[in-house]
Each structure stands twice: as C-alpha cells, then as structure tokens.
Structure 1
C-alpha cells in the first residue's frame, strides 16, 4: 500500500481526513487475495443458490456466471470502491485510533446480484446492468477485551471514473433541480443519507446474521452485544463512527496534494454528530486496474 499510494493524514478532534494519491502502479495480483477474501462469503451464497460449483472448471455448466467476475463493468466498479473502503480501514489510522476489523463483507445481501447470477447461469444472454445494494456499503467493528462490539464504523463508498469537483458535489449534495425557476442542489446526496442514519442501522443486523451462520462461537460476545443494540425497547447504544470513501481517477487539471472535501474540519453539511472520517483515493488508470483485477479473481 505504501509503495502504491502516498499518504497525507490529518486528524483534528472528531474529524479525520486521509488523502491517498497513487505514486506508482500496482500489480493486480497484489490486491487479488484481499478481494477474493472480501467476495468469498457472497460467492459461496450466490453459487450455492444458483447451483454452481464454488470453483467450477472452465467447461463446467454455468462457469461463465461466476461471481463477481461475471458482473457488468458498472457493478464491478461499485464493488471495487466498497472493498477498497475495507482495505484502507484495516491499513490506515482513522479518527479515534480504533482497531477496526471486518469479520465479513455484506455483499451476500445484494439481492439483484444474487438474481443476476441465478439467471445468467441458466441463460448466458441474460446480461444486464444491476440495481445497487440497499443499506450500508460497509460495516467495521471494534471489539472489547471480552469480544463484544464497543464501537462500529458505517461507511459510504463511491467510485467515479474521474473525481472532479462537480462529480463530488453531486455525490455529496445530490443532483441539480430547478424549482420555480431557481436552480439548486436537491440535498439528497451522501450527506442527506448519513445525517439521517439510524443509531443501529440494518447493516448491523446483516453483519450479525452472517456471523451467526459462519462463526457463532468465535463471535458469540459480538453477536450478543449486537442483539442488545438491535432490540426495539431500551437498546444498548453502541457508539458509531461515520466513514465516507471517495475513490476514482484523478481529474486532468488536478494539483497534487489538493483535496475535494475539507481536510481540517468537518463540512458544514455533516450534522450527524458522530466522529467522521473522510478518505479520498486518487488513482491513475483505475478502470483498467479494476477490470484486470476482477478478471483474475479465482482464475
């Protein structure tokens, strides 16, 4: 990571801003183990549902529909941004200096991807664009000495082929709208979604359900603490940190070291009141990297 991305990290109280700028190309093979690990749970779930072998031979029935390689380019780029979100969370220091872990990614809850793999395995002509996954893009947790969840991190991850000021403003503030001749942002972008998030979002329930299935003994204390946080009456509040990760290729006129969101203090549009971490990842040739990487998974 250090050879690939130059790090500029600023933390001021409850606000952190991490700028990662590509300084050298990276071999996709270096990223492949992490990406395969991130997608393995969903791959097992989707392949099982579709009746596919987990690692089918090239000539096996349905081999063309392997997840996530079979997904269309737009879906791949969205997944890349979400996995990159997890990778930087585990590799870099964030606001609060917590030891974040990602027991499992939540990709199995992408209902349209499951449906896509099922249909494509039976009809290779069923290629189409996908609807996005609902809920949190990403959940990480910090465990106490007893294994219970003492804080969680909820992330929003976005990939754009070119990270321009206008593209980021649209992501954060919503599309332009004209009402009574007045043109203004809709204010239904990322800030709107983050500001209205529940204290215990459905991503925690999704994480808990996977942990119950995959490792109920190893994560028993974490599962119990999530139960207490997710009950409707008198829940035990688990403190939350918000994360926004923006990744994409640099704009043509971008100046090295410049940021698209404030580096020293939280933006005025953020009103949720939790510790906030922003990450900007500026790449070169990112689209080619994504395609090479996803073509190579489980190859």
Structure 2
C-alpha cells in the first residue's frame, strides 16, 4: 500500500507548534515543535489516530500473510495474527514507532532541505521481526488468561536495525531525484549520547542500504498502479547505484522534556551547526519535537486512552 493520509495544516500546526530558532550553517537546518495537548481533541484526534493506523497497516498485512482464506475475515481478534499490534507492545517500542512516524509526518507536511514535496511511500515496521514474533506470545498469553504486563522489563525487545524511514522526491515521469534518510529517536528524557548515536549512524556513505531493499520488497506485495510505479522508480535507482539522486540526511528526535538551562535555550539539538558525530557532507536536517507528557501521547495514539 502507498500511504495516502495527510492533515490539514491548521489543526496540525495547532497541535505541534513551531518554535522559531536561529539559523547558522547553510548545509544544516533544525526545526523545533512543541506539543499543545489541548489541540489533540476530536475531531482532529480521530485524524491523528487514523494517520498512525494507516502507517501500521502494512505490518498487519505482513502478520496475516498465509492465514487468509474465504472463511477468515480477521474480525475476531482471537484468530487475527495482527491483533493487538502495536497497542500491546512495550512503551519503549511504541515511543520508537512514534519517532519514526513523526519523521515522516514532518517532512511530508512541512518539508525539508528547501523542498516541500517529499513522500514516504511506506513505513518499515513489518521488518521489526523481534516484535512481530513477540506479538504471537502476547496474544497466546491473552487467549490463555495468563497475566500480562506489557511494560514489564521482560517484554522489552530490541529495536529494528536499518533505516528508520526513507523519503523521496519523485517527478511526474516516475523519476526519483532526491532521497532523505531519516534516523529517528524518541525518549522520555533528553540523552545527548542518543543524539550523538543518531548522527553517527547517519554517517555512512552508502545509499544502497537496507531501507531501499525493504521498500522494494514491500511494494512488490501490492498490485496497485501507484505501488508498482514506486517500485519501478526504486529499482531504477538501485540499478543505477544511486548515482542519479541528491542525498539529504535527517535526525528526527522526539523527547518528553524541554531544556531549562540556560533559559534562552529552546532546543536540545544545536540550531546553528551540525553535530560533531555527523561526518558526511550532505545537507543535514534536524527535526525536534518536545512533549511535556510523552507518556500521555503514547497512551492516546497507541493505547486508546
């Protein structure tokens, strides 16, 4: 499937409020948003839930592959392999998924690198194998009435390796001209080491990496014209050795805190220059989202609270 859902900018801007930052290095930009929880109310909240639900639909399709037949509609959670995904996963996993989806949301609605036509054709959640395998254990315990605490330490699973998300600019002829590699983090409290790790991970000269292969594999499972158009464009890019595109890199950082010292500091990431752990020469984009109640956002989006 190709992700289609988008927001009207006015309610989105009311929820994630842009904070002006100084501008420094022309090869680097940082944007900052702070959540206004009062704006996450119906009917806009329903749109947010639908947006995230669509992002996970491909992973649900993956979980159900091989189980479909004429007698099974998956309406009964007891026989649906995708039941409770991602709602009963550990909070740390849900925070990670939130960070990845926020990266896609930001570049598709507010642009990046001077361009406003980025597209993220699909999210890569189906490749978080550790959690998809874990889900079977969760659902089995629920069916058997075994006590289950989703946020207990033994329920935590390692994050998915590889690219967190990839955004592209594609023209009307189906030719990809630009790629944005997104590395996402989402934490309850700021961690400078995690910020450094994200920039270090981006510092690879390789574009022919796992995210492209994974996207091509996803798109091959859908027979719509648009999915096949994207797959053909990505295959052409793959075969060319990615020599025909411009690369941009992006750190998407969600955090459940605002800086307090000094009082003039607005963002955790430096707005004027790129992080020292980023060693490449591509244009670098920083996206930062601050939530005073990150746990509440996770509860609203993933846990129906």
| TM-score interval, smaller chain | 0.7 to 0.9
Q: For residue 287 of structure 2, give the secondary structure of its aligned residue in structure 1.
A: strand
Q: Distance in 2 between matches of 1:105 and 1:219?
A: 13
Tell me what 2:16 maps to.
5
Aligned residues: 276
Tell me what 1:238 maps to.
245
Q: For residue 279 of structure 1, give the secondary structure of its aligned residue in structure 2.
A: strand
Answering whether residue 207 of structure 2 is matched by residue 199 of structure 1, we say: yes
- Alignment map for 1:127-142 (pairs within 5 Å): 128-142=155-169
Q: Is contact 2:30–2:286 with CA below 8 Å preserved after alignment?
A: yes
Of 37, 46, 63, 1:29 maps to 46
Distance 1:61 1:199, change over 3 A: closer
Q: Is contact 1:56–1:63 with CA below 8 Å preserved after alignment?
A: no
Q: Is contact 1:48–1:54 with CA below 8 Å preserved after alignment?
A: no
Q: For residue 220 of structure 2, give the secondary structure of its aligned residue in structure 1.
A: helix
- Alignment map for 1:82-97 (pairs within 5 Å): 82-97=100-115
Q: Distance in 2 between matches of 1:54 and 1:100?
A: 35
Of 270, 275, 287, 1:267 maps to 275
Q: Distance in 1 between matches of 2:241 and 2:108?
A: 32
Which range is displaced more, 65-74 or 209-218?
Answer: 209-218
Q: Distance in 2 between matches of 1:63 and 1:203?
A: 25
Which range is displaced more, 124-133 or 241-250?
Answer: 124-133
For 1:126-150, what per-residue CA distance to the aligned partner results, in whole angstroms no more than 9, with x for missing partners? 8621121111011111101201221
Q: For residue 162 of structure 1, give the secondary structure of its aligned residue in structure 2.
A: coil
Answering whether residue 233 of structure 2 is matched by residue 222 of structure 1, we say: no
Tell me what 1:170 maps to.
193
Q: Which runs of 4+ in 1 moved over 6 A?
A: 50-54
Which range is displaced more, 288-297 or 101-110?
Answer: 288-297
Tell me what 2:255 maps to.
248
For 1:215-241, what per-residue CA distance to the aligned partner results, in whole angstroms no more than 9, with x for missing partners? 46324443233223324x865443211
Q: Distance in 2 between matches of 1:24 and 1:293?
A: 12
Tell me what 1:102 maps to.
120
TM-score by length of 2: 0.80
Distance 1:54 1:250, change over 3 A: farther
For 1:244-293, what per-residue CA distance to the aligned partner results, in whole angstroms no more than 9, with x for missing partners? 01112124736476122221332343221111110110111121121122
Q: Is contact 1:43–1:68 with CA below 8 Å preserved after alignment?
A: no
Q: Is contact 1:149–1:222 with CA below 8 Å preserved after alignment?
A: no
Q: Is contact 2:74–2:80 with CA below 8 Å preserved after alignment?
A: no
Tell me what 1:78 maps to.
96
Q: Distance in 1 between matches of 2:188 and 2:264?
A: 18
Q: CA deviation at 1:38?
A: 0.5
TM-score by length of 1: 0.81
Q: CA deviation at 1:74?
A: 1.4
Q: CA deviation at 1:157?
A: 0.8
Answering whether residue 161 of structure 2 is matched by residue 153 of structure 1, we say: no
